[in-house]
């Protein structure tokens, strides 16, 4: 199947399947309504890292909420690459860059390794997840 590079892609934590409807999160609703300025009936691509990439339409929209209806599967979920990227946690700015480049490289698993010279004891996992999604 050909990839549609003109449609906007959104990461959603929910399970995806045909004819499922769900409310987008507050940040995603804001992004759809105010940043992209999409109205009811506009189509976007959704993915969750498990079920593949699905087309969806905006079924209903208000100022602070958007309801999405999943339409059809566009691309199946590819298998995770065998690449495991081990790294010593760095200071936050450099760690964000490291995670961004590891994802671009196609790493299937990011594994922090604590060494004798590690300066950061515990990286912010939520921040790293958000960086991966971007």
pLDDT for res 132: 66
Confidence of residue 120 (pLDDT cuts 50, 70, 90): low
pLDDT tens by residue, 95-110: 888 888 888 888 888 8
113-121: long-range contacts (C-beta < 8 A, 24 or more apart)?
113/86, 113/87, 113/88, 114/88, 114/89, 115/88, 117/88, 118/88, 118/89, 119/89, 119/90, 119/91, 120/89, 120/90, 120/91, 120/92, 120/95, 121/89
Domains and CATH numbers, the chain: 9-75 (2.40.240.20), 84-133 (no CATH)
This prediction's pTM: 0.63
Q: pLDDT by residue (tens digit) across 58-88?
A: 988 887 888 899 999 988 988 877 888 888 8
């Amino acid at each position: 199947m050909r990839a549609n590079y003109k449609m906007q892609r959104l990461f959603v934590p929910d399970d995806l399947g045909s004819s499922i409807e769900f409310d987008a999160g507050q940040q995603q609703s804001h992004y759809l309504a105010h940043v992209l300025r999409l109205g009811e009936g506009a189509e976007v691509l959704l993915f969750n890292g498990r079920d593949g990439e699905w087309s969806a339409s905006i079924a209903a929209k208000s100022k602070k909420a958007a309801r999405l209806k999943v339409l059809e599967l566009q691309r199946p979920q590819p298998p995770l690459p065998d690449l495991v990227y081990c790294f010593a946690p760095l200071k936050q700015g450099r760690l964000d860059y490291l995670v961004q480049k590891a994802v671009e490289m196609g790493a299937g698993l990011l594994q922090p390794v604590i060494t004798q010279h590690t300066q950061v004891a515990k990286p912010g996992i939520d921040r790293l997840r958000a960086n991966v999604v971007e």
